[in-house]
Amino acid sequence: MIRLKGYIATLCGLLFITVGFAQVPGKQSINTGWEFYKGSIANYPATQGKDITWQQVSLPHTWNAADVSDDVPGYYRGIGWYHKTIYIPAAWKNKMLYLYFEGANQEAEIYINGKLAGTHKGGYTAFSIRIDSYVNLKDSVNANQVDIKLDNSHNESIAPLDADFSFYGGIYRDVYLITANQVHFNGDDFASSGIKINTKVDSLQAEVNISSSILNSSAQKKQLRVVNEVFAADGTSISHSQSNLSISKESNALAGQLQIIKNPHLWSPDDPYLYHVISKIYDAITGELLDETDNPLGLRWFNFSAEQGFFLNGKHLKLIGANRHQDYKDLGNAVPDALHIRDMELLKKMGGNFIRISHYPQDPAVLQACDRLGILASIEIPIVNRITETAAFTDNCKHMLVEMIRQNYNHPSLVIWAYMNEVLIYPRYDDHSEQRKLYYSRVVALAKTLDSLAHQEDWARYTMISCHGDFDRYFSTGLAKVPQIVGWNLYYGWYAKDMAGLDAFLERHHRELADKPMILTEFGADADSRLRTFNPQRFDKTVDYQLLYHQYYLKTLQKLPYVAGGAIWCLVDFSAEQRQEATPHVNTKGLLTDTREPKELYFFYQANLLKTPFIKIGTSTWKMRSGTADSQTQCVQPVNVYSNGASVSLYNNGNLIKTAPVEQGFVVFNVPFVNGINQLKATTVISEKTIEDNTVVDFKMQPADFKSTQIPFTAINVSLGSERYFIDDNLHQLWVPEQPYAKGSWGYVGGEVFKMPGNLPYGSGKNILGTEYDAIYQTQRVGLSAFKLDVPDGEYEITLQFAELITPNADKPLVYNLNDQVQKGNNTERSFDVSVNGSLLIKDLGTQNYLIPQHAYATKTTITVKDGQGITVNFNATKEQAILNGIQVNRIY
Ligand code: GCB
Ligand code: CA
């Protein structure tokens, strides 16, 4: 079957309306000059909010930008009010006026001059509210009051009910005031553009079917002429059609026109060629132009095969890309369009050709960018983790699905409509109960309803649901058989132990769901961009384990032809308020941080996916390093270089280290670092051209012997109970992992690494309050007797870090951590003294004084070291065992 589609902008389009001779722009944003109040207004509209203190804001705006990342559990989910005055000229008396919202989370009531003009449910789709019957139009300038009550409280009738992301409240996308003639393209229809472009394309010709829905709100029957014109990318008009129709008063009608484009210039990721269509409505009697809208058009066809994956324009194409959430550090979801566009550009620059817009429709700028850049897309409504078995929930889901489809119908980049994510991961009722069975059957029934609704709305695109890695559950309930494509979110090597389980799982689908195309819709591993290690382990949150994980996944993805594609979880780090771990409230599975800094993983994918010459030294994201000098006063550490060349040469300070062949897009070099500046240069030759990358690593060499004068000791920060380096570029902090004490050097004496029950290799995953350096406080050495540094005589500053990791509160398990155990609540009565070089610094340290569970505690002291005694910090436990989480030693003189 040929599958294809044309394009229309998601907005109501640019409407140009003639009023006399003057053209009035039909759409103007009203983002500035709002007032906001977080809370309820009593007796609205009687009070009209006059007695409250408003805050001046501009849109996009969210009221949760800060409280999703503070240390207070939870964030405000309740009512917020917005207020604005809009001015309507008397000249618009006969116009139809709308407020058009690209998105507001999640239940909105729109009041004009105190009267309810419309409502909307659902935080991720656009809606349009007709307001002309509520506005004052008496004078030449008419002030009209817009009040919006918005509520982001949990509502069992509105998806999403539960998910691993923050449900920010607010009007967080653009709002427009739209002015239209009584006759116009019908944007009233689920806030769509009123135009559907269907295409049927092959390499010789494209049939372009333009169907317009036209509304006649006037009290007279109208004779109209509809004209559609197709333009090539360079602006040349290439095709034209028109038809006449009459519409009775207060009704709407459809006008369909077919155009044939010979030798179409096809749209694809390599060549995202866009035509565009201008559609106009004229009054057939007077010739007056009543409405006009301009929509891009991409010509392509595609299909998914269960055996061979995805084909675009008849050619096989492995879909590889990422998922994306829409928020940014400290801004929440209220981000400018430029950021949406930049994210798509970053995906394209990685070599990605696919985006799964997860887990909800996003700003129109996203799909517009995909059309322009050539990124194939899947989009979904936010049914995540569970459903509610009510008609109200079902109706809202259906409504969202129709909104999503009609609003995004014409994007050439879009190939999949999806409607559920991991919906069986968190089912209601007891396992094996009758109620549970009934619940499953209701989920399947809802899926069937939504699937057929999607097909009814759009015959040309595929449907999909994404499932978590419990094959049996989706298979036995029949849910996996409902959509055309099954998406799998697989975390073998992360939530599930064994990475190789991935291949077995995908093979099983291929065997048992032999006729279902599949996409690996999620795979990923958390990585705090500040954490590095030479011994990567599952759940250590290092950039290095993330790299290992993805090396495996990409190989599997590329090897199995029946897997149509894969979407990395996730393009960017995003807010998930309930998460703890190394970066509390953030899911760090991103290729990029929440401020869009690349992690080393991003370079790995660039090297593997880009067709243009590429080389990058991985360590450009790890510029502060440390290690102990060898006999040549060097320290050898591995550095990855990423390239799509055949071999790479790496130089340090001008000296060639080695030339080595590239495998899977990278080479690991053992670099002899010197103390101080290391100027790294990597080169490769591609198509007879040499390309290079340069970076500087500031290496803090620790002397093997602290008394050595060759490399004098200056400072060290040690993270206890950890195998990780912690690097904070912003605050110029570099921490190294612990080591046992050896004479002449530094390290702990005795004790063991703190480990929680469960799967963390070491440390705790709990949020530590009062610090941004959770990763330092989350690991510790237990039962140590001393920490020693054989530093030369001088004056030193010593800082000790502690956090009590045993807490009386049991962990709330993360829903995805199905195989992990959680720490039960526990109490400790530890008590220990800390002394430095024999003098007591802290007496009876424990929960009775500074060690409040899960809180950071640090203290700093200065000490004069003389007579070659070095530094010894002693820990003497009087109850249970002593602990130490971090130590910093600085030489002052
Ligand atoms: C998933 C979910 C996604 C989570 C992700 C994770 O399976 O679909 O929403 O954020 O795993 O990181 O746990
Ligand atoms: Ca909070």
314-334 pLDDT, tens digit per residue, is 999 999 999 999 999 999 999
Q: For a substitution probing ligand 1, which of 162, 468, 587, 591 has the most ligand atoms within 8 Å of its CB?
A: 587
Evaluate: CB of 589 within 6 angstroms of ligand 1: yes
Q: What is the mean pLDDT of residues 365-378?
A: 98
Inter-residue contact 59 to 139 (CB < 8 Å): no
Instruction: Please indicate whether residue 385, judged by its CB atom, sits closer than 6 Å to ligand 1.
Output: no
Q: What 8-state DSSP symbol labels residue 548?
A: H
Chain centroid to CA 891? 43
Which of the listed residues 326, 489, 570, 583 should we mutate to test ligand 1's pocket, taking the one with most ligand atoms within 8 A of CB? 489
Ligand nearest to the backbone CA of 584 = 2
Contacts of 438 (CB under 8 A, 6+ apart): none
Tell me the pLDDT tens digit for each residue of 660-671.
999 999 999 999
Pocket test for ligand 1, best of 422, 467, 594 (most atoms within 8 A of CB): 422
| DSSP result, 118-162 | EEEE-SSS-EEEE-GGGS--SSSEEEEEEEEEEE-S--TTSS-SS
Closest CA to 523 of 814, 816, 761: 816
- Give residue-wise pLDDT tens across range 157-173: 999 999 999 999 999 99
- In three-state form (DSSP H/G/I as H, E/B as E, the rest C), the secondary structure along 258-310 is EEEEECCCCECCCCECCEEEEEEEEECCCCCEEEEEEEEECCCEEEEECCCEE
Distance 496 CA to ligand 1 centre (A): 13
Cβ-contact 577, 75 below 8 angstroms: yes
Closest ligand 1 atom to 468 CA: 7
Q: How many CB atoms lie within 10 A of CB 162?
A: 14
CA distance 342 to 369: 9
- pLDDT tens-digit profile of 652-692? 999 999 999 999 999 999 999 999 999 999 999 999 999 99
Which ligand lies nearest to the CA atom of residue 767 in the structure? 2
578 lines ligand 1 (CB under 6 A): no
Q: Is 837 exposed, middle or buried (0-12, 13-18, 19+ CB in 10 A)?
A: middle
CB atoms within 10 A of CB 512: 11
* Ligand positioned closest to the Cα atom of 162: 1
Predicted confidence at residue 818, as pLDDT, reads 47
What are the pLDDT digits (tens) for 773-827? 999 999 999 999 999 999 999 999 999 999 999 988 766 655 565 445 455 667 8
Calculate mean pLDDT across residues 75-96: 95
H runs (alpha helix) in 470-571:
471-476, 501-512, 543-559
Q: Which atom of ligand 1 is nearest to the CA of 816?
A: 13
Q: Is 522 in the pocket of ligand 1 (CB under 6 A)?
A: yes
SS3 462: strand
Residue 22 has pLDDT above 80, yes or no: no
Q: Say how many Å lie between the CA of residue 585 and the centre of ligand 2.
A: 8
The Å distance, Cα 76 to ligand 2 centre, comes to 8
Q: Which atom of ligand 1 is nearest to the CA of 358?
A: 9
pLDDT at 51: 79
Residues contacting 381, CB < 8 A, separation 6+? 124, 159, 360, 361, 397, 400, 401, 404, 418, 419, 450
- For residue range 269-283, what is the model confidence (pLDDT) as tens digits? 999 999 999 999 999
Ligand 1 near 421 CB (within 6 A):
yes
Q: Which residue has the tokens 């340069």?
A: 694
70 CA → ligand 2 middle, Å: 5
809 Cβ neighbours under 8 A, 6+ residues apart: 825, 853
524 Cα nearest atom in ligand 1: 12
Percent of the chain whose predicted confidence (pLDDT) is above 90: 89
Distances (CA, A) of 130 to 96, 114, 217, 694: 7, 15, 12, 57
Q: What is the DSSP string of 206-268?
A: EEEEEEEEEEE-SSS-EEEEEEEEEE-TTS-EEEEEEEEEEE-TTEEEEEEEEEEEES---B-
Pairing of β 794-802 and β 886-891:
antiparallel
| Least-confidence region, from 166-170, 224-228, 281-285, 727-731 | 727-731
**Of 752, 780, 753, nearest to 766 (Cα)?**
780
> CB of 587 closer than 6 A to ligand 1?
yes
Q: Is the CB of 489 under 6 A from ligand 1?
A: yes
What residues flank ion ligand 2 with Cβ within 5 A? 67, 70, 72, 75
Cβ–Cβ contacts within 10 Å for residue 133, how many?
Answer: 10
Find the 71 Cα to ligand 2 centroid distance in Å. Answer: 6
**Rounded mean pLDDT, 210-219:** 96
Distance from Cα 491 to the centre of ligand 1, integer Å: 9
Q: What is the pLDDT of residue 45?
A: 86
Averaged pLDDT score across all residues of the chain: 94
Residue from 617, 623, 600, 577 nearest 528 by CA: 600
| Three-class DSSP category at 36 | strand
E-assigned strands of 724-773?
724-728, 733-737, 746-749, 752-753
Q: Whose CA is nearest to atom 11 of ligand 1?
A: 816
The number of the ligand nearest the C-alpha atom of 360 reads 1
The rounded distance, in Å, linking the Cα atoms of 574 and 193 is 31
User: Is-contact 282 260, C-beta < 8 A?
Assistant: no
Res 3 pLDDT > 80: no
Q: How far apart are CA 711 and CA 701, in angstroms?
A: 7
Mind listing the pLDDT tens digit for each residue in 440-484?
999 999 999 999 999 999 999 999 999 999 999 999 999 999 999
Distance in Å, CA 546 to ligand 2 centroid: 27
For ligand 1, whether the C-beta of 816 sits within 6 Å is yes
Neighbours of 663 (CB within 10 A): 9
Q: Which tokens sit at 738?
A: 């612990």
Cβ of 546 below 6 Å from ligand 1: no
Q: What is the pLDDT of residue 824?
A: 62
Residue 75 exposed, middle or buried by CB count within 10 Å (0-12, 13-18, 19+): buried
Ligand 1 probe mutation, 541, 569, 818, most atoms within 8 A of CB: 569
- CB 228 less than 6 A from any atom of ligand 1: no
Dist. CA 674–CA 183, nearest whole Å: 75
Closest of 169, 184, 197 to residue 9, by C-alpha: 197
Residue 723 Cβ < 6 Å to ligand 1: no
Beta bridge partners of 643: 615
Identify the three-state secondary structure at position 658: strand
The token duo for 807 is 């807490």
Q: What is the mean pLDDT of residues 381-386?
A: 98
| Mean pLDDT within 250-254 | 94
How high is the pLDDT of residue 812? 63
Edge-first strand listing for the sheet containing 634-643: 615-617, 634-643, 666-674
| pLDDT tens by residue, 731-757 | 999 999 999 999 999 999 999 999 988
Distance from residue 577's CA to the centre of ligand 2 (Å) = 7
What span, in angstroms and rounded, lies between the C-alpha atoms of 408 and 99? 19
Does ligand 1 lie within 6 Å of residue 422's CB atom? yes
For residue 81, how far is its CA from the centre of ligand 2 (angstroms)? 21
Distances (CA, A) of 305 to 488, 509, 565: 16, 14, 11
CA distances from 862 to 276, 733, 755, 842, 859 (A): 71, 20, 31, 14, 11
581 close to ligand 1 (CB < 6 Angstrom): no
Provide the token pair at 781. 């050495």
3-state helix, strand, coil in the chain (%, to 5): 15, 40, 45
Residue 802, C-beta contacts closer than 8 angstroms, at least 6 positions apart:
777, 780, 845, 850, 851, 857, 858, 883, 884, 885
Nearest CA to ligand 1 atom 2: 164
**How remote is the CA of residue 75 from the centroid of ligand 2, in Å?**
5
Contact in structure between 181 and 288 (CB atoms under 8 Å): no
Q: Poorest-confidence range of 242-246, 292-296, 500-504, 788-792?
A: 292-296
Q: Is the pLDDT reported for residue 13 higher than 70?
A: no
Check residue 808 and give its pLDDT: 81
Dist. CA 328 → ligand 2 center (Å): 16
Q: Using an 8 Å Cβ cutoff, are 749 and 835 in contact?
A: no
Rg (CA), the chain: 31
Instruction: Please give the helix or strand (H or E) that residue 669 lies within, else none.
Output: strand 666-674
pLDDT of residue 305: 98
3-state secondary structure 377-445: EEEECCCECCCCCCHHHHHHHHHHHHHHHHHHCCCCCEEEEEEEECCCCCCCCCCCCHHHHHHHHHHHH
Q: Which ligand has the shortest distance to the CA of 526?
A: 1
Pocket test for ligand 1, best of 327, 519, 520, 522 (most atoms within 8 A of CB): 522
pTM: 0.95
686 Cβ contact list (under 8 Å, min separation 6): 613, 644, 645
Atom 9 in ligand 1: which residue has the minimum CA distance? 164
Among residues 834, 852, 851, the alpha carbon closest in space to that of 843 is found at 834
- What is the torsional sign of CA 473, 477, 479, 480? positive
Q: Note the pLDDT of residue 809.
A: 73
Distance from Cα 610 to the centre of ligand 2, integer Å: 40
Q: Which of 31-40, 188-197, 808-817 has the lowest mean pLDDT?
A: 808-817
pLDDT tens, residue by residue, 537-551: 999 999 999 999 999
Q: 821 alpha carbon to ligand 1 midpoint, in Å?
A: 18
Q: What is the pLDDT of residues 588-602, one digit of tens each?
A: 999 999 999 999 999
The verdict on the CB of residue 569 being under 6 Å from ligand 1 is yes
Ligand 1 atom nearest the C-alpha of 466 is: 8
Ligand 1 pocket check for 184: Cβ under 6 Å = no
The residue whose CA has the least distance to atom 13 of ligand 1 is 816
Q: Which amino acid is at 558?
A: Q
